[in-house]
Structure 1
Amino acid sequence: MAQVMTRSRGRHARDDGMSTAEYAVGTVAAAAFAGLLFKIVTSPEVRRLLLDIVKRALQLAG
């Protein structure tokens, strides 16, 4: 019984975790998403909306 469990673990051990290529693709995708999000948040329209929200909140606070 112990041999069967060891063999099955050995077969599945190759599938555990991500490979270096998967990490690279994930890192590139995360960096691209961060760049896109930065562009959106720093756009004049979004900046104006955020400033309006802050101004309203400050006016309501007193």
Structure 2
Amino acid sequence: MQRWKNKEDAGMSTAEYAVGTIAAAAFAGLLFKIVTGSEVQELLLAIVERALRLAD
């Protein structure tokens, strides 16, 4: 059985999907660590409080 394959196939292979998934998970973990840090939480809380004060 002969498989048809386009020579200009720009899709990702299974290994590329795996690497992309691992990279995305690592990036998500890094962002989670940054956002859950106390300094960032304080900054985000200050921004939200300021926005709510401006809405009054």
What TM-score comes out, normalization by structure 2 length? Answer: 0.82
Q: Which has the higher helix share?
A: 1
Partner in structure 2 of residue 7 of structure 1: none
Where do 4+ consecutive residues of structure 1 move more than 6 Å? none
Task: Give the structure with higher Rg (CA).
Answer: 1
How many residue pairs were aligned? 53
What TM-score comes out, normalization by structure 1 length? Answer: 0.75
State the identity %: 73
The 5 Å alignment of 1:28-39 reads: 28-39=22-33
Alpha carbon RMSD of aligned pairs, Å? 1.9
Unaligned runs of 5+ in 2: none
